[in-house]
Amino acid sequence: MSGKTLYDKLWDQHVVRSDDDGTALIYIDRHLVHEVTSPQAFEGLRLAQRKPYRVDSVLATPDHNVPTSHREQGIADPISRLQVETLDQNCIDFGITEFGLADLRQGIVHVVGPEQGATLPGMTVVCGDSHTSTHGAFGALAFGIGTSEVEHVLATQCLIQRKSKNMLVRVDGRVKPGITAKDIVLAIIGEIGTAGGTGYAIEFAGEAIQALSMEGRMTVCNMTIEAGARAGMVAVDETTIQYLKDRPFAPKAEYWDMAVEAWRQLHSDPDAHFDKVVILNAETIKPQVTWGTSPEMVVPVDDKVPDPQQETDTVKRNGMEKALKYMGLSANQAITDIHLDRVFIGSCTNSRIEDLREAAAVIKGGKVASSVKQALVVPGSGLVKQQAEQEGLDKVFIEAGFEWRDPGCSMCLAMNADRLESGEHCASTSNRNFEGRQGQGGRTHLVSPAMAAAAAIAGHFVDITG
Ligand SMILES: CC(C)[C@H](C(=O)O)[C@@H](O)C(=O)O
Ligand code: SF4
């Protein structure tokens, strides 16, 4: 019998009951909650006169609808205000810990969980949000769920699931200087496509992944959902353990030692079987830029916008033509000729301290190009913001002409005041570039924080490694 993958181990440790039809009831250790997908779930609990099964497993924070400036004025948009106030009230009524708008610890739920040590190795972590895959970076089984499942987990601490197949994405070798986790994951999606991971749980491994910090691993796992897989994960190692030590929700004293011992088992066995294996060479990865309306429409910055005429598959060709039209780009145009109207550094993909450091390092001394209407830096949490300010990063951004905002999802999606106007091109460190994602008619180019910062200064994309 072959050994177990990391995913097999996490799955087996949480099965409460398996049924012959292939479904299983699994136990959930951590439930993260935000304002968008929770109101009906709490309403369901109320109607059924239920209480949360394990209230200390739940942690809530508003993120999608929060303003990122002038918070003292409250939330202007009535729908956004209602969502945030409803979360506050639900957390009070059900006794749930919430980092509200006025709390320094508030931020994007996928930044807040790990930062607090609320996400730990070996856990099952769910949230009514597709980017819950982020938390898999800690050797946890983490995936997004729908609102009815949010209610189910609140009420029972369990979920009915079907086990996925195992996929290994191995990135061998070391990346070149200037290449970040974002470039790695965009290159992976460029390779396997947005449906490449459908039906699989992906484990990311190899020298280039092991060499990443926890922030980098979170960036990679964050975009697993963009590769079609609900869960992505990385094995536990010293990097994981060091990151978690002394975090507020992490175990303390003798419990810490016991936990670390158990966490060290959280890796795939050498003889584990994967249903699919994809291998990339880190040395060949260049800074990535998306040119289209899907994360798989990505090329290296020194390349050109692809020509649909060269595509033999008619479905793909039509998709490319449609994307080029929406994006206002022409075939064979150099990526470095794409001019930017706005720049957004933020989102649960790239708003952690390291991301801000990388962006600031590129800016040093430079000024945002006069052709760029707006360049935003939105830290992922109040604590990230505070840390960045202690390091003086805010000054680097502000002096260069960036706006230094308060934490939230911001321009990642058009659910708050920060958005693109129709036709505008944006260099964005977020994870989705679908039509209208950052505002109706807006044109998103997904890049790393360093690439976004360099584009803000130049006014167009530049090869930061060239
Ligand atoms: C609003 C929420 C349900 C959604 C998600 O699930 O991912 C959002 O976070 C997104 O990134 O599109
Ligand atoms: S930052 Fe963007 S991707 Fe992340 S949870 Fe918020 S809206 Fe979703």
- Determine the pLDDT at residue 364: 80
Same domain, 257 and 310: no
The best mutation among 135, 431, 444 to test binding of ligand 2, ranked by most ligand atoms within 8 Å of the C-beta, falls on 431
Q: Which of 227, 251, 276 is the last residue of a domain?
A: 276
81 and 101 share one domain: yes
Q: Is 372 in the pocket of ligand 2 (CB under 6 A)?
A: no
Query: Which residues span the domain enclosing 363?
Result: 287-458
- If asked whether residues 334 and 445 sit together in one domain, one would say yes
CA-to-CA distance for 109 and 128, rounded, in angstroms?
A: 10
The closest residue, in CA terms, to atom 2 on ligand 2 is 412
DSSP 217-228: HHHHHHGGGGGT
| Atom in ligand 2 nearest the alpha carbon of residue 34 | 5
Q: Cα separation of 372 and 427, whole Å?
A: 10
72 with 156, same domain?
Answer: yes
Residue 145 domain-assigned (yes or no): yes
Shared domain check, 440 and 310: yes
Residues 319 and 243 in one domain: no
Domain assignment of residue 341, yes or no: yes
Say whether both 18 and 48 belong to one domain: yes
Is residue 142 located within the same domain as residue 71? yes
348 among annotated binding-site residues: yes
Which H/E stretch holds residue 15? strand 15-18
Q: What 8-state DSSP symbol labels residue 260?
A: H
CB count, 10 Å around CB of 348?
Answer: 26
Write down the pLDDT at residue 233: 98
In a domain, 92, yes or no: yes
Structural domains counted in the chain: 2
Domain assignment present for 464 = no
Q: What is the ipTM metric for this complex?
A: 0.99
The ligand whose atoms approach the alpha carbon of 109 most closely is 2
Whether ligand 1 lies within 6 angstroms of the CB of 130 is answered as yes
Q: Using alpha carbons only, how large is the chain's radius of gyration in Å?
A: 21
pTM assigned to the model = 0.98
Q: Which atom of ligand 1 is nearest to the CA of 37?
A: 3
Q: Is the separation of the CB atoms in 385 and 377 below 8 Å?
A: no
Is 431 touching ligand 2 by the criterion CB < 6 Å? yes
Residue 70 shares a structural domain with residue 171: yes
CA-nearest residue, atom 8 of ligand 1: 129
Both structure tokens of 196: 């490449």
- 63 pocket-lining for ligand 1 (C-beta < 6 Å): no
Q: Is 34 in the pocket of ligand 1 (CB under 6 A)?
A: no
Closest ligand relative to 381 C-alpha: 2
Encoded tokens for 432? 């989705």
Residue 144, ligand 1, Cβ within 6 A: yes
Q: Check which CATH number belongs to the domain holding 34 and give it.
A: 3.30.499.10
Residues 36, 2: Cα–Cα separation, whole Å:
42
- Asked whether residue 325 is assigned to any structural domain, the reply reads yes
Q: Is 386 a member of any domain?
A: yes
219 lines ligand 1 (CB under 6 A): no
412 is in an annotated binding site: yes
Please check whether residue 463 lies inside any domain of the structure: no
pLDDT at 390: 98
Domain match, 252 and 398 both: no
- Chosen domain end from 244, 276, 308: 276
227, 247, 276 - which closes a domain: 276
Per-position pLDDT tens, the chain of length 466: 789 999 999 999 999 999 999 999 999 999 999 999 999 999 999 999 999 999 999 999 999 999 999 999 999 999 999 999 999 999 999 999 999 999 999 999 999 999 999 999 999 999 999 999 999 999 999 999 999 999 999 999 999 999 999 999 999 999 999 999 999 999 999 999 999 999 999 999 999 999 999 999 999 999 999 999 999 999 999 999 999 999 999 999 999 999 999 999 999 999 999 999 999 999 999 999 999 999 999 999 999 999 999 999 999 999 999 999 999 999 999 999 999 999 999 999 999 999 999 999 999 889 999 999 999 999 999 999 999 999 999 999 999 999 999 999 999 999 899 999 999 999 999 999 999 999 999 999 999 999 999 999 999 999 999 8
